[in-house]
Structure 1
Amino acid sequence: MFKKILIANRGEIACRVMRTAKRMGIKTVAVHSDADAMALHVREADEAVAIGGSAAAESYLKIERIVEACKQTGAEAVHPGYGFLSENRAFAAALEEAGIAFIGPGTHAIAAMGDKIESKKLAKAAGVSTVPGYMGVIADGDEAVKIAREIGYPVMIKASAGGGGKGMRLAKNDAEAKEGFRSATNEARSSFGDDRVFIEKYIEEPRHIEIQVLGDAHGNVIYLGERECSIQRRHQKVIEEAPSPFLDAATRAAMGAQAVALAKAVEYKSAGTVEFIVDRDRNFYFLEMNTRLQVEHPVTEEVTGLDLVELMIRVAYGEKLPITQADVKLKGHAIEARVYAEDPLRGFVPSIGRLTRYRPPEGQGVRVDTGVYEGAEITMFYDPMIAKLVTYGADRKDATHRMAQALDAFAIRGVNHNIGFLAAIMGRERFTSGRLSTDFIATEFPDGFQGAALSRDEADQLVSIAAVAQHRITTRDLGAASGPHKPAVPADWTVLVGPPPRARREVHVVPGADGTYAVTLDGHTRQILTQWAPGVGLFEAKIDGVGITLQIDRAGAVLTLFRSGAATEMRVVSHAVGALTGLMPVKTPPDLSKFLLSPMPGLLVSVAVAEGQDVKAGEELAVVEAMKMENVLRAERDGKVKKIAASPRESLAVDQVIIEFE
């Protein structure tokens, strides 16, 4: 077996590969950019080599520097992870030329499947179902419109060298086709150095279901079941699960057989994924093949009991697959949620900063793959993923319940994150019933995510918990007092809920023995048992015998409780203070409607208007690039430009003024 391997990646996937390598007794080498000098994958490796500047183009995409790092450290093989150079034929070829094993497929398979246009031609030749479309090179926006009309709207414009949701645009009319061609080619050029795009028919109400394949150098290829990846935002997966709640055994077998046929057609060895679009009648069409390990591979590992990274390493070493198709059994159900540093309440704009608190959940059936730690920094240079949260259960209901509990217990502070949004998805009836499609988020959250709505009972539980928390805080504070006039802890509290003007709730709290409280709200009494101590971020309790976990933050007199995707701000005060609080004036926020503000930290790519120009609602104003994704900013209403406050190629901060209107 290899004695030392280099991981040509960063973040959670680098740490994930290292975990398996160490278990196999293999030494590991990390490479890192300037921005990642203190990253977790650098800390966990046996050796680390600096390979360049913070931008990926100056470090993780530099083939010659990674090859040199292998020679410098004596690494015999390279695992590329996903993204970066993982599907780069030139990288695999450079390693081969240097006598270094590539823990992935051969250069032929990478080249054949890495080009989305050529891969569809090969798939069709191999007898794989494909989506109608135009696979030729498209010259400009006008030609894109012509082709889209011939195929029939709606169509999807995609980067030929694309992946990760980049370089993709849905077009429903001529205008969207023309603009989509421009944006897709720009993103493709920026992300992949290849601006070719193709157009294909968009399957409405589709599911995104992929088949995990595994091959060796001895001609053996098997499939390890499927993953349901339909819940996506901007073509990037958010929730994945295995097995799919939609497929039956016959469809699974048919998809698996086609995936294996395609893999054999390109002499595939290593782990790979064949992605399909599946319609409401279980008709399936080839989408693309990813010649690498997928972000969502843990759910397959959970239901098969196999370590895909170990199998990739063994295949790269020349070993035969230790299992046959008959050995593959799917047991239980697994769900993965991608935890990102982004702000769902502001259109999911990326968030950067330092993780002042990072406490992942633990427990049976809970797995967290991460590349960060408390105190680590989320930068603007890379994908904003913080962690992958995976839960496993005997069935889908069990896995979903564990996911909801784990999300409630996942504490992240210092950056905005999408945990509340993920929790809200878990609570949707359409999710729990398994009625999924790629338009799930657009349909369930048509106006974006505004925070989860709690039921009346859930809201009342939070009010009761806030009163108990304040009772324990006050008991601790007064415990330090002494003397004959030591005040008693009050039993009656006023809970002021939400931002001003706050709703008032009157609560009566009677402490019992061993952390038990009788809490009366609106004439209904709950029994709450908790050992929570002030300053602890996780509040665990039993309410009338039923367990509950939530997070609680304290800032002065304000308690913020986080549960089921909702963040509820409360002030718990005495009746007298509550009455006076109602007399306080409400501060009016400033009027920012006359400004176009940058919704995220990023690069101002272009400004489409000039000073003195009249603009109409919906008209493009500017384009901001963040994390290699282009974001088009449009006018919310008719108006006239008074001042352009930022210049193209300028780095923008969150809420920085780009345009001022009269």
Structure 2
Amino acid sequence: MFSKILIANRGEIACRVIKTAQRMGIATVAVYSDADARAPFVQMADEAVHIGPPPANESYLLADKIIAACKQTGAEAVHPGYGFLSERASFVEALEKEGIAFIGPPVNAIAAMGDKIESKKLAKEAGVNVVPGFVGEIRDTEHAVEISNDIGYPVMMKASAGGGGKGMRLAYSEKDVREGFEATKREGLNSFGDDRVFIEKFIEDPRHIEIQVLGDKHGTVLYLNERECSIQRRHQKVVEEAPSPFVTPEMRKKMGEQSIALAKAVGYHSAGTIELIVSGADPTGESFYFLEMNTRLQVEHPVTEAITGIDLVEQMIRVAAGEKLEMTQDDVKIDGWAIENRIYAEDPYRGFLPSTGRLVRYSTPVPAWAGDLRGVDGVRVDSGVQEGGEVSIFYDPMIAKLVTWAPTRDEAADLQVAALDRVVLEGLGHNVDFLSALMQHPRFRAGELTTGFIAEEYPDGFEGAEALGDMRRAVAAFVAGAEFTERARAGRISERLNGAPAPGSDWTVKLDGEQYAVTLGDGGGTVDGQWIAGTWDWQPGMRLSSATADGETYGVQLQRDGAWWDLITRGRQYRGMAVPARLTEHLGHMIEKVPPDTSKMLLCPMPGLLVKLHVGEGDAVEAGQPLATVEAMKMENILRAEKAGTISTINAEEGETLVVDAVILELE
């Protein structure tokens, strides 16, 4: 067994590897860029080596700097995590030349499966179902159009070396191919150094199912059940669960056996994942097809760990050290249900645009990395940031992974909702409310999932989880209770000679344009004449509190903003005001602040690089026409005209780094 390993990665995955290594008694070395000098993974490791400036291509992607750090510290092996150098065959070859072990699969397997074009050929030869498409070099846009027309729309254009949702475009027409092919090539080149693209048929009602495989160097390969990863946005996974609510035992066996066949065909060992696309329109479950093999640890590996009890990082380390797997296929069980939500620095209220900045306030329902594979009481938080830290433009915007485990799927989802209520994040936009809405959505609860779930259920964007009448009444009571508590406290410290008048029990609450009559009493109160039994532990100065209302328990986040209260619970943000009932008639005289009209401006929706301006001053444009392309978090975002007009002024230049809401151009 190794005595010291180096983690060639950053963030939460670096923390994850360090945690298991420490439990195994193995010393750890972290490598870090300037941007990560104070990051938690650097603090967790036994040693840390600085490797360069923030851009990944000047630090984390430089194999020679990783190898130099190994030599400097005496690290005997490298765990690559995911992303960066984890699937780069040349990196593994360079390590082997220096006598440094790679905690991952053999170089030939990485090379074979890393090329999505070649991997499909190998999968077909191994007897694995593959998606219909064109496997070969695509010369240019015209060739891409010709291929797409032959396959039949819709088609998916993918960068051959892509992953993580980058370098992918869905095309429903020839126009989409012409518009997206070059962008797909650029994203592939910028993110992976490879601009080759392949095109395949897009499966209708697709479900994304993946099989976790684990093999040793002695010929044993097992499958550790499946994960359902169908809920995605821009082809990037948002929610993952194990097992899948769609997969039957018969399907699981067929998928698992095909996955093992492919792994053995390339001499695979270590942890890896076979990604499959499954047609939800086929009730037999027979229509599943090979997408790709990820020759590394997956972001969503914790859900597999939770239901199997197998520490995948530990197994990877043991396999790399030459040990045999101590389990057989019959030892792999399914115990309960696990769900993982990815908490991202992206704002669902602004079209899921990336958000960067400092984490002014950050706390989670249980401490990060506390507990075992199932966390604490079924709640596990894998996080690579801390309060006061910064989410920068240089890396993936993931803040944390929230994993819950319970005996049943509904219980695991309920635990997610309760845990998400208690995630406090301030300083940047985040998707916590959206994740809570997903967990409560009737279609999610029914297990009716496809990769189009988010686009289908939120076609006009996200405005918060649905709030029914009972929920709104409870929130109105919370607002009145907060106002009463704060006024009572103010009265106690006012130092008036005759004391301060106690606040009354009757209130009028204005909440998101609606008005409620609230009367507070012992053990609850009435809202519009309806009694709500409940309690609340909130006191002035608290950001997070617990509340009950008619038997339901809520995590409530509350903050004062002038005369108003901003309240968050169950995936929705509310803005309310409470005034004594005797002053109700004055509510109608309060002036509402009207936001400025920016409808004639194209504003940069996120911090990023202006890659291309598609128009010039004086150009006439139509609604939907591309105006500018902004790159942020390694993804290109096309900004389109919301209505017809003429470009009057260009305010930015190509190559310029823009802040959020910077005016790119103006229309008339």
Output the TM-score relative to the length of structure 1. 0.97
Structure 2 counterpart of 1:614? 620
Matches within 5 A, 1:88-487: 88-280=88-280, 281=282, 282=285, 283-362=287-366, 364-482=377-495, 483-487=497-501
Residues 126 and 261, structure 2, Cα contact 8 Å, conserved in 1 = yes
Shift of 1:577: 4.7
2:576 matches 1:563: no
SS at match of 1:582: helix
* SS of residue matched to 2:327: coil
RMSD, aligned α-carbons: 1.2
Mapped to 1, the partners of 2:333 and 2:301 lie a distance apart of 16
Q: Is the 8 A contact 2:554 2:569 kept in 1?
A: no
Range with greater deviation from structure 2 (360-369 or 24-33): 360-369
Tell me which amino acid in the other structure corresponds to 1:17: V
Return 5+ residue gaps in structure 2 as ranges: 367-375
Number of corresponding residues: 654
The residue number in structure 1 matching 2:503 is 489
- Aligned-residue offset at 1:484: 2.5
CA deviation profile, 1:205-227 (whole Å, cap 9, x unmatched): 01000000001111110000000
Partner of 2:370: none
TM-score, normalising length from structure 2?
A: 0.96
Q: How does 1:6-17 map to 2 (within 5 A)?
A: 6-17=6-17
Q: Distance in 2 between matches of 1:486 and 1:642?
A: 60
Q: Is the contact made by 2:345 and 2:355 (CA closer than 8 Å) also made in structure 1?
A: yes
CA distance in 1, matches of 2:198, 2:94: 29
Q: Given residue 630 of structure 1, which amino acid in structure 2 is its aligned partner?
A: E
Alpha-carbon distance change, 508 to 165 in structure 1, aligned in 2, over 3 angstroms: same
- Give the direction of change, closer, same or farther, for the CA distance of 1:604–1:247 in structure 2 (3 Å limit): same
Contact 2:82 2:297 in 1 (8 A): yes
Query: Is residue 550–residue 561 contact of structure 1 (8 Å, CA) maintained in 2?
Result: yes
Q: Does 1:655 align with 2:661?
A: yes
Q: Is the aligned partner of 1:537 residue 2:534?
A: no
Q: Which residue of 2 aligns with 1:56?
A: 56
Deviation of 1:473 after TM superposition, in Å, equals 1.6
The one-letter code sitting in structure 2 at the alignment partner of 1:140 is: D
**More moved, 479-488 vs 521-530:** 479-488
Superposed CA offset, 1:100-142 (max 9, x none):
1100001000000000000000000000000111111111110
Residues 643, 195 of structure 1: alpha-carbon distance in 2 compared, 3 angstrom cutoff? same
Amino acid in the other structure paired with 2:646 = K
Q: How far has the Cα of 1:496 moved from its partner?
A: 1.8
* 8 A contact 2:421–2:554 mirrored in 1: no
Distance 2:583 2:33 in 1: 54
Deviations 1:575-634 (A, max 9, x none): 355433421333322111111111111000000111111111111111100011011111
Unaligned runs of 5+ in 1: none
Identity across the alignment (%): 58
Equivalent residue, structure 2, for 1:597? 603
* CA distance 1:46–1:577, shift in 2 (3 Å): farther
Classify 1:2/1:661 alpha carbon distance in 2 versus 1 (closer, same or farther; 3 Å).
same
| Structure 1 match to 2:517 | 506
Aligned match for 2:585, one of 554, 565, 579: 579
Q: Deviations over 1:184-235 (max 9, x none)?
A: 0011011001000000111010100000000111111000000000000000
Shift of residue 357 of structure 1? Answer: 1.0
CA contact (8 A) 1:141 1:179 kept: no
Residue-by-residue CA offset, 1:46-80 (whole Å, 9 max, x unaligned) = 11111011111110001100110010011111100
Residues in 1 aligned to 2:510 and 2:439: alpha-carbon distance in whole angstroms: 28
- Deviation string 1:535-582 (CA, Å, 9 cap, x unpaired) is 122221222344222222223332111112110011122235543342
- The amino acid of 1:489's aligned partner reads P
Aligned to 2:479, the other structure's residue is in SS state helix
Deviation string for 1:283-306 (max 9, x for gaps)? 110000000000000000000001
C-alpha separation in 2, matches of 1:228 and 1:544: 34
Aligned to 2:47: 47
CA distance in 1, matches of 2:252, 2:78: 33
Q: Secondary structure at the match of 2:251?
A: helix
Where 2:459 maps in the other structure, the secondary structure is coil
